[in-house]
A and B are shown apart, each in its own frame.
Chain A
Amino acid sequence: MPTIRVTGLHVRHRKTVALDALDLDFGPGVHGLLGPNGAGKTSLIRVLATVAEPSGGRVEILGENTGEQRRRGTVRRQLGYLPQEFGYYPGFTVREFVAYVAWLKEMRTADAPAAVERAVGRVGLADRIDTKVRTLSGGMVRRVGIAQAIVNDPRVLLFDEPTAGLDPEQRVEFRELLRELGASATVIVSTHLVEDVAAACTEVTLVDAGRVAWRGTPGSLAALGESAGAAGSAGDNAIERGYTAALRAHRDSGRPQTLEGTAR
């Protein structure tokens, strides 16, 4: 049973088409969203986060149509969203920032304090919880962003470039957290780092020029890379070669390709 169902999604920014007749299903697990810059990854995440309005199509999250205002609140209560860029109020500490988002998410006052500490602990900032956000490094601010996203134990999590600014060790820890979250929630991670996908994702969706170029498991993308290696696809490892091979095949054919039985 998919938790997110996207049908005929169309998103336009002024005159350029960001997403074009997109059909996608996502179930529980960690889904990697790969693609070149400007492919439409952020547009898709923002529509799923109910922040941006699609110009056409239908988005159903947890069985609710997000096009209906009354249903949107129900969805938003079970949503976690880490934008690519976000700001914070200068005076806020980590605890206040995450607690403020917990308040915005209409969490019960009695549950919020413990949930805030738990979320901050899960991103490894327990010892900085009473530090001002503005004094933290870029990587730490991103982890605060991850903490606010997971504070309400959401059933749907949307991370836009979550590993940007994290050092290699923090990325490894974050992937561990992703796997943990993916055990119960539907987690969608947009990234341009192929190794994130290989390590943490159960499924990969390749987006190119507003369309789905390829879908499958990281394993099958690597397998595609192995077979494409002989054909001279660029990339330093199998999954990178798979990425370039899938993109090239998609651009050559002009039609979406799906490996049967791999998409959930």
Chain B
Amino acid sequence: MTGWHTSDDLVTRYTDGSLPEPDAWSLEKHLESCGDCAARVSQAVRETAAGVTLAEVREAVLGAAPTTSPASASASLSRSQSRSRRRLPFPSVGSRTARVLWAAGPAVRGAWLPAVLLVAFGAVALAYGADFDAARPLLLAVAPVVPVVGVALSYGAHADPLHEITAATPSAGLRLMLTRTAAVLAVSLPLLTLAGLLLPASGAPAAAAWLLPGLTLTLASLALAGYTGFRTATAVTGGGWLCAVLAPALTARGGLTARLADQLSAYLDGAPAQGAWAAAAVLCAALLATRRRAYDRLERR
């Protein structure tokens, strides 16, 4: 801090408006950091005609905003004041967790998360509460569709209320889509696998056998969405899986549980089946990478 302070002459000329603009600026700059000079200038201004007007404005503003706090009243008094206002602590932006939650997007915040919990807990409740022996096969049949539904609810004009604003930001496109998909998978994969582990086997494949198909169907949905949009893509992949599993099980003879378990075993059990799913996943990922530009402006009206 220098020892320089505003002279009385300078203050007088500033208050009556005769001080040249550059000098007025440098004086104002000094006032920002020097309380004594600021008080002297305020005193001088208050004695002029502008002081009366300022007092009136202040009163009118405070009168018009009876419920606001002092901080917000001063903010509405002048924009420059609100700029220099003390910054409030801002935990919701800085923290890493909040940012991850934000990135997760609409699905994880919306109705999808309760739906996942319902599927997981519902399966366990059915198995132990109602002695329903088909809980594991049913869970395995439904589980791969869960992340697909999550993807459908995560991105695009139909699912994201903020989409129109989001689409004009640099985050839009493949990256935001993958971030949200990752959030969907991070929630659904462990939860449903855990639920599956708690259920009696009933001749169905292992609880973790759906992981690779679930991932593959999700990637296939993303890859297909580049051509058709998310609604159609997820309807095709999710609906396709359900038809492939449920249709033969429903039409064939024998106990439903056994048929469903057989059907699932055919799709999920053994190295060749899992290998095929893995190959399909790699294929879809490659397609996504080569067509990454298609996601930049996906929705056209």
Q: A97-105, A183-191, A243-251: which one contacts chain B?
A: A97-105
A124 and B76 contact, CB distance less than 8 A: yes
CB-based contact A51/B92 at 8 Å: no
Q: How far is the CA of A52 from the CA of B301 in the complex (A)?
A: 8
Which residue in chain A gives the minimum CB-CB distance to B65? A127
Q: In the complex, which residue of chain B has the Cβ closest to the Cβ of A75? A: B170
| Count of CB-CB pairs between chains A and B under 8 Å | 112
Determine whether A49 belongs to the interface, using a CB cutoff of 8 Å to chain B.
Answer: yes
Residues in A whose Cβ lies below 8 Å from that of B69: 127
Contact indicator A95/B92 (Cβ below 8 Å): yes
Cross-chain pairs A/B with CB under 8 angstroms, 28 sampled: A49-B167, A49-B168, A50-B297, A51-B167, A69-B296, A79-B169, A81-B165, A83-B165, A85-B164, A86-B162, A87-B161, A88-B162, A89-B109, A89-B161, A99-B92, A99-B93, A102-B93, A103-B171, A104-B171, A104-B172, A113-B90, A117-B85, A118-B83, A121-B75, A121-B79, A121-B83, A127-B65, A127-B76
**Is A109 positioned at the interface, with any CB of B under 8 Å from its CB?**
yes
A53 contacts B300, C-beta separation under 8 Å: yes
- Say which residue of B85, B87, B92, B301 sits within 8 Å of A96 (CB atoms): B92
Residues of A contacting B161 in the complex (Cβ-Cβ under 8 angstroms): 86-89
A101: B residues at CB distance < 8 A = 162, 165, 169
Q: Check B88 for interface membership: any CB of A closer than 8 A.
A: yes
Closest 10 CB pairs of A and B: A87-B161, A113-B90, A127-B72, A104-B169, A126-B75, A121-B82, A81-B168, A83-B164, A76-B170, A49-B168
Closest Cβ–Cβ distance, residue A108 to chain B (whole Å): 11
How many of chain B's residues have a CB under 8 angstroms from any CB in A?
A: 41
Chain B residue, CB-CB nearest to A48: B168
Which of chain A's residues have a CB closer than 8 A to the CB of B99?
A: 103, 109
Nearest residue, chain A, Cβ from B75: A126
Chain A residues within 8 Å of B, Cβ to Cβ: 13, 49-53, 69, 72-73, 76-77, 79, 81, 83, 85-89, 91, 95-96, 99-106, 109, 112-114, 116-118, 121-122, 124, 126-127, 145, 148
Q: Tell me, rounded to whole Å, the shortest Cβ–Cβ distance linking A222 to chain B.
A: 30
CB distance from B149 to the nearest CB of A (A): 19
* Chain B residues within an 8 Å CB radius of A87: 160-163
Q: Which chain B residues in 20-74 approach chain A with CB under 8 Å? A: 65, 68-69, 71-73
| Of the residues A13, A51, A103, A105, contact of B297 by C-beta under 8 Å | A51
1/0 contact string of B266-299 vs chain A (CB within 8 Å): 0000000000000000000000000001001100
Q: Report yes or no: B170 in contact with A77, Cβ–Cβ below 8 A.
A: yes
Contact flag A103-B93 (CB < 8 Å), given A89-B161, A127-B69: yes
Binding site for A on B (CB under 8 A): 65, 68-69, 71-73, 75-76, 79, 82-83, 85, 87-88, 90, 92-94, 99, 102, 106, 109, 160-172, 176, 293, 296-297, 300-301
Chain B residue nearest to A81 in the complex (CB): B168
Q: CB < 8 Å: which of A76, A85, A112 contacts B169? A: A76
Alpha-carbon gap, A83 to B167, bound state (A) = 11
